[in-house]
Each structure stands twice: as structure tokens, then as C-alpha cells.
Amino acid sequence: MVTVSLRPIEAKDKEEWINLWTGKGGYIEFYKSLDKITPQITDVTFDRFLDPKEPVYAVVAVDDETGKLVGFAHYLTHRNTWTIHDSLYLNDLFVTSDVRLGGIGRKLIEYVYGEADKFKCEKTYWSTQFENHRAQLLYTKVGVKSGFLLYRRP
């Protein structure tokens, strides 16, 4: 079992992060969306993580033995009409296939929970595909279903 350290993403992580984000077996490929994520979107997204004026963040899981990135969580804070304080949306969660089921996803979510507390976010939430049963096994242990369905503009 691999042991990891979690830390905010840094500029030096860009190449490894891009590989996890859009590379073979990466997050965007998993969601069959490689045709939707352009290099410009990737660059702007990464730049937002490093911009202190942007409410967009990333934490990475680093293999303690190799120093390589093996996962990430992207999250953002935003206003909410039902609360005084901001809400936190866990936008993306990814762990490489070779180290899944080792507790890294849970650690990333718990890190994000800590960030929500730090930012005084009264609501922390995320969504996943109905068919992503493996992820849901974790999500039912660390969260509760909201009872809402997600709709979007066609």
C-alpha cells in the first residue's frame, strides 16, 4: 500500500498534473471528455489554482516513496443564497488506477472538508455519475446523498 502526503498544488506540478488531468488513463479520459477540454482550458485552470485572487483550488496526493503525483482534488468556493458564508464545491476528484482503494480518495475529501472549515463554508458538496459505483462506495461513507438531481442547459 502506498503512503501519500497531501499539499496544495505548486507551479512545479504542472506537467505531472496535466498527465493526471488529460493523459492516458487520466481524469478527463475517464469521463470521456477529451474532446471538450482544450489546452487553453487546461492552462487557464492550472493558472487559477495558483492565483490568490481566484476562489479555485487544488490539492495533490504525492507518493511518499517516489515523489510522484497520484491524485488530486479540485474545489472552489462560491456564494450561496441559502447561507451567509460561502459554499464549497468539490469539482474534481481523481486517484490513479494503480493506487485506488488505498484510502487516498478519502484523504483528499477529508482535506477538502478541512479547507471548507477554514473558509467557514456552511455547505460542502459534489456530484458524480450515476454509473460511477466505485466512487459512490466511498461517497456514502464520507457524505450523504442530497436528494437532488443535477440538471443543466443542453
pLDDT in tens, 3-31: 999 999 999 999 999 999 999 999 999 89
- Are the C-beta atoms of residues 50 and 11 closer than 8 Å to each other? yes
d(CA 56, CA 47): 10
Grade residue 136 by pLDDT with cuts at 50, 70 and 90.
confident
Gyration radius from the chain CA atoms: 15
- Domain extent, residue 75, equals 4-142
DSSP states of 115-147: HHHHTT-SEEE----TT-HHHHHHHHHH----S
pTM: 0.93
Question: Can you read off the three cell numbers belonging to residue 86?
Answer: 460561502
Question: Can you read off the three cell numbers belonging to residue 93?
Answer: 476528484
Structural domain includes residue 134: yes
What's the CATH code of the domain at 95? 3.40.630.30
Structural domain includes residue 97: yes
Q: What is the pLDDT of residue 152?
A: 85
- State the SS3 of 24-40: CCCHHHHCCCCCCCCHH
Structural domain includes residue 56: yes
Structural domain includes residue 71: yes
Q: For the chain, how many structural domains are there in total?
A: 1
